[in-house]
Structure 1
Amino acid sequence: MNATPGLARRLCALALLAASGGLLGSACADNESSLFIRMRMAEKAEEGRCNATCNPSEGFWTEDTVDAAYLGSHSAMLLVGNQVVQRGDSDVLRTETSRVQLYEAEVRVTDIEGNDVTPGYVVPITGTVDPGASSEPGYNCADVLLIDGATMDTLRVQAAQRGGDVQVWATVVVRGRTLGGQEVETAEWTYPIRVCFGCSLCVDTSPPDCCKSSAGEGCEDAEDVEATCPGALGAVDCRALHMTCTEYIESFGL
């Protein structure tokens, strides 16, 4: 028989009174405080790759901007904290069981009025978050898909039809499992994302025909376009599109 939430809480309270030690207390505690999402880390382009330092003292972003014309999905590096109490003790040969292995994230994308843009989805993630030292949590990053392909398709049409930005919220719950077998998950964490269509700077070669093949005779070498990390707008090289910027935008028929 399934217990109602109120009955489950009362049973848990009775169990705590009856139990000695406090071992049962950790099982009845709200595990949303054990694991939490701290922030969206700022990513920097270095040698053609985007890197983020997984530390709460490093830079972070408060909003992402995504051009749906050039991206089929959007991911972000989230800083996840672990407040599970340390259990390891070398004096008694007790192994550390409070490390959390992350395995999935549940994501829901809504508009500014709270309506779902598309059905929510669950995506696999990886990463291990060590327990903290003293009162400080342990931290690590998790790369989470904030906008999947189906959601981006919907937002692309909306942004093109509006001729401007579409503001959405990505709400994320990260789940993990301690090495001791305890399931933990974060509370809901919400992050704003602004979606546009064709708002990035797109650079044609000279002459524009060389967008299709820059190896052709008479094509000038176009300057390399600097890499931009996910969440920030940057320049797009038409050679990556294999057509001029105008032809590419028109190919959507929106």
Structure 2
Amino acid sequence: MNAARRGLARRLFALVLVTASGGLLASACADNESSLFIRMRIVPDEGCTTECSPDESFLTYDEVDAAYPGGYSHSAVLLVGNQMVQRGDSDVLRTETSRVQLYAAEVRILDNTGSMVGEYEVPVSGTVDPGSSDDPGYNCTEVLMIDGATMDELRTRMIEEESSAIEVVSTVILKGRTLGGQEMETVEWAYPIRVCLGCSGCIDHAPECCSGEGAGSEACEDLDAVAPTCPRGRPGVTDCRQLLTSCSEHLADVRSPP
């Protein structure tokens, strides 16, 4: 074989190797995205306990009131599945490498026109075991679905547009790493959230009890307390003593342009 033919053969061989390796990489990426997935938004029970199981109750959208402190940002507990096969074997002293440790969430928030309102990455935690047989393994992780800066922007937009609510979609990509060192991530998961302004309940008491000076007095402390609510996807009730002003004055301040 002459030099020209040998050179051509080498180039063809290199092309075959690149093509083959590219196919393997594409296959690995596709496998990674299907191996780790977000199943649903879990609802804590009345005692604020969360069971990380696909049989638990779930929500299809959330509502948050940006007018009160409980709605200055918004988080949700997500159920995450791992479809990787188990690789550990005690008979041959082989450790399990298919467990996935979650470490970050990429979040994008889009309004009802598809325009991006916020984008950020936040740390998360949780280890998702591999499944058994055909069933995935599951665990939960809490994700900041709307951060404070984005909530401020949405609140300002509602005030400027004299709107009582705005619909957004929070999309999440979870990132993890197997105990074997392989990087994993979920496909983008979308979740609708209705952000409102003053749509939840607020309890007023006597003016002196809603002020900063009187809220701690014995008479005001003896009033029925508003029990803290679990973050269950719907706005809770606010007590004027938490605001150090009356509910109406607080809402008036919120709605006033900065």
Q: TM-score range by the shorter chain?
A: 0.7 to 0.9
Q: Is the 8 A contact 1:73 1:148 kept in 2?
A: yes
Question: 3-state SS of the aligned residue for 1:44?
Answer: coil
Question: 3-state SS of the aligned residue for 2:40?
Answer: strand
User: How far 1:142 sits from its partner (Å)?
Assistant: 0.7
Among 51, 54, 60, the alignment partner of 1:53 is: 51
Do the aligned partners of residues 165 and 92 (structure 1) sit closer, same or farther apart at CA in structure 2, a change above 3 Å counting? same
Question: 3-state SS of the aligned residue for 2:117?
Answer: coil
C-alpha distance in 2 between matches for 1:11 and 1:72: 51
Is 1:43 aligned to 2:52, yes or no? no
Among 236, 241, 246, the alignment partner of 1:244 is: 246
What is the aligned partner in structure 2 of residue 124 from structure 1? 123
Is 1:77 aligned to 2:64, yes or no? no
Question: 3-state SS of the aligned residue for 1:12?
Answer: helix
What pairs up with 1:19-168 in 2 under 5 angstroms?
27=28, 29-46=30-47, 50-70=48-68, 71-118=71-118, 120-160=119-159, 161-168=161-168
Q: Is the 8 A contact 1:98 1:178 kept in 2?
A: yes
Q: Is the 8 A contact 2:85 2:132 kept in 1?
A: no
User: How far 1:200 sits from its partner (Å)?
Assistant: 1.0
C-alpha distance in 2 between matches for 1:247 and 1:166: 23
User: How far 1:124 sits from its partner (Å)?
Assistant: 0.3
User: How far 1:226 sits from its partner (Å)?
Assistant: 3.2
C-alpha distance in 2 between matches for 1:111 and 1:8: 45
What is the aligned partner in structure 1 of residue 176 from structure 2? 176
Which stretches in structure 2 are left out of the alignment for 5+ residues?
1-15
Do the aligned partners of residues 172 and 235 (structure 1) sit closer, same or farther apart at CA in structure 2, a change above 3 Å counting? same
Question: 3-state SS of the aligned residue for 1:37?
Answer: strand
RMSD (CA atoms): 2.3
TM (norm. structure 2) is: 0.84
Q: Is the 8 A contact 1:63 1:191 kept in 2?
A: yes
What is the aligned partner in structure 1 of residue 229 from structure 2? 228
C-alpha distance in 1 between matches for 2:133 and 2:126: 22
1:65-119 residue CA offsets vs partner (Å, 9 max, x unmatched): 000011221110000001111110111010000000000000000011211013x
C-alpha distance in 1 between matches for 2:169 and 2:77: 16
Question: 3-state SS of the aligned residue for 1:91?
Answer: helix
1:201-241 residue CA offsets vs partner (Å, 9 max, x unmatched): 11011x12211223336547322223322221221011111
Q: Is the 8 A contact 2:78 2:143 kept in 1?
A: yes
Q: Is the 8 A contact 1:33 1:83 kept in 2?
A: yes
Which stretches in structure 1 are left out of the alignment for 5+ residues?
1-6, 17-23
C-alpha distance in 2 between matches for 1:155 and 1:241: 21
Q: Is the 8 A contact 2:75 2:145 kept in 1?
A: yes
C-alpha distance in 2 between matches for 1:229 and 1:216: 27
C-alpha distance in 1 between matches for 2:89 and 2:218: 70
Do the aligned partners of residues 8 and 250 (structure 1) sit closer, same or farther apart at CA in structure 2, a change above 3 Å counting? farther
1:118-167 residue CA offsets vs partner (Å, 9 max, x unmatched): 3x100000010000111100000010000011100011122333332100
User: How far 1:250 sits from its partner (Å)?
Assistant: 2.0
C-alpha distance in 1 between matches for 2:89 and 2:250: 61
Could you say which structure has the larger radius of gyration? Answer: 2
One-letter amino acid matched to 1:60? F
C-alpha distance in 1 between matches for 2:235 and 2:195: 10
TM (norm. structure 1) is: 0.85
